[in-house]
């Protein structure tokens, strides 16, 4: 999403909330000057992609042993 600096000043809470889910680019005089983003979103996406890749009931130690056998 792209917004103007004026719009950000008028509704900061709205755009901070939106930045949790998507990057918000701020323009000034028609040029992008800043970006609001969630610093943890990439970590969450990676964690979500791994969800379900380890069988239920498997311990961390078992997963590590399995990984060393297969890696």
* pLDDT value for 39: 83
- The CATH code of domain 2-70 reads 3.40.1620
Rounded Cα gap, residues 62 and 52, in angstroms: 15
* pLDDT value for 44: 63
Per domain, the residue ranges of the chain are: 2-70
Rounded Cα gap, residues 52 and 63, in angstroms: 13
Does position 71 have pLDDT exceeding 70, yes or no?
A: no
Mean pLDDT across the chain: 83
Q: 16-25, 27-36, 52-61: which has the minimum mean pLDDT?
A: 52-61
Does position 49 have pLDDT exceeding 70, yes or no?
A: no
């Amino acid at each position: 999403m792209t917004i103007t600096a004026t719009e950000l000043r008028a509704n900061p809470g709205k755009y901070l909330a939106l930045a949790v889910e998507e990057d918000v680019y701020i323009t000034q005089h028609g040029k992008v000057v800043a970006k609001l983003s969630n610093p943890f979103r990439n970590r969450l996406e990676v964690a979500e992609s791994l969800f379900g890749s380890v069988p239920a009931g498997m311990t961390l130690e078992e997963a590590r042993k399995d990984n060393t056998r297969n890696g």
